[in-house]
Amino acid sequence: MTLDVDDKPRRSRSARIDDVAARAGVSTATVDRVLNGRPGVRALTVQRVLRAAGEIGYLIDEARPASALRPLRLAFLLPAGDNRFLGMLGRLIGGSQAQLASFNMRARVDHIESFRPELLAQHLRAVGREVDGIAFMALEHPTVREAVDQLAERGVPTVTLISDIANTRRVAYVGLDNRSAGRTAGYLIGRFIGNRPAKVAMIAGSLSYRAHEEREMGFLHLFQDLFPQIQVVGLREGHDEEARNYRQTKTLLAQHPDLAGIYNIGGGPEGIARALKEAGRQQEVVFVGHGLTPATRDLLIEGAMDAVITQNPQAALMDCVSIFANLRAGLPATQGVERPRTEIVLRENLP
């Protein structure tokens, strides 16, 4: 429907701080704090004041521009450990301060011991007292869900990154459709193996991550649907550790000498590749994993890996920036934010 000129919102030349306060349901002192970028106002209240000011025209015509507000303080909470893709993402965020400053934001990166939901929940609550928004890789656990909802009550929005969490008040998820990613991995392995009976296996980081659980489900269902002649012989957890993945792969090869494929759901691909090379099986076992890093690039080039499913870390960072910018402006969190695309990288199309 096209709006007539008379239907468009009008800017009010006579709007005052009193009007903004009344519309936002806060005091004039709070409005003054928000519009002049002074601390001490909850993020949710800041959003409400900015929305009210914009709706009546005050912010546009009389208030200081958004660039005059204090920088939005963000925290990115990522698992500590050997996952090369997550390490690369953390370094990217840490090195993007100048770019973030152009959006009137600044960010810190905190690394939390992997697979410890209580520790993650504790850190979420603590960091929430110091920042205006948090992006984090979620663990599916009641203590984490409770922490996310407590932050929402305090007006601190959270965005889940790479792995989501169910039934919480997080404002958005930035990451792949992980069930689809698992099906994609299964399809690649099935097509590489061909139309013959075979066995394939999975190695996950941890099923505490919803992302890994969803990838497993997608993988299993794909073989049931399209390649019933291929048997999935089990799932092992490697906690994204190269040494543990090496041991898990050695065990799989010993138990299943005819193993034809491995899907690495998490990190630590070097351990899997080392076990395959030692067994002389790197040219026989189809190996598909996640996250394009210098390590997986090398494995693709030498032929130890067949395919890598990945997403663009720079795009993920900018999606988080867009979400927090939307919230600050009083817009829907995901307005203008597209779901990340799944990228399939082979040796022949390495970027």
Average pLDDT, the chain: 90
pLDDT of residue 220 exceeding 90: yes
Greater confidence (85 vs 52) lies with 85
pLDDT of amino acid 351: 92
**What's phi and psi for 311, nearest 5 deg?**
-135, 160
> Rounded mean pLDDT of 261-286?
97
Q: Which residues contact 168 (CB under 8 A, 6 or more apart)?
A: 145, 148, 149, 152, 158
> Rounded mean pLDDT of 42-47?
73
Contacts 24+ apart (CB under 8 A), 172-177: 172/323, 172/333, 172/334, 172/337, 174/135, 174/316, 174/319, 174/320, 174/323, 174/337, 174/340, 175/211, 175/311, 175/316, 175/340, 176/211, 176/309, 176/311, 176/340, 176/342, 177/339, 177/342
Greater confidence (32 vs 39) lies with 32
Beta carbons of 244 and 251 less than 8 angstroms apart: no
Report the alpha-carbon distance of residue 291 to residue 345 in Å, rounded.
9
Q: The whole model's pTM is what?
A: 0.81
> Rounded mean pLDDT of 36-59?
71
pLDDT of amino acid 1: 31
Report the alpha-carbon distance of residue 339 to residue 163 in Å, rounded.
14
> Rounded mean pLDDT of 77-85?
94
pLDDT category at 257 given cuts 50, 70, 90 is very high
| Residues of the chain above pLDDT 70, percent | 89
> Rounded mean pLDDT of 60-72?
57
pLDDT of amino acid 2: 33
pLDDT category at 268 given cuts 50, 70, 90 is very high
pLDDT of residue 51 exceeding 50: yes
Largest CA distance in the chain: 80
pLDDT category at 39 given cuts 50, 70, 90 is low
> pLDDT tens for residues 296-351?
999 999 999 999 999 999 999 999 999 999 998 888 999 889 888 899 999 999 99
Report the alpha-carbon distance of residue 138 to residue 117 in Å, rounded.
9
> pLDDT tens for residues 170-215?
999 999 999 999 999 999 999 999 999 999 999 999 999 999 999 9
> pLDDT tens for residues 149-164?
999 999 999 999 999 9
> pLDDT tens for residues 93-145?
999 999 899 889 999 999 999 999 999 999 999 999 999 999 999 999 999 99
- Tally Cβ neighbours within 10 Å of residue 166: 9
Q: Which residue shows structure tokens 């709070």?
A: 30
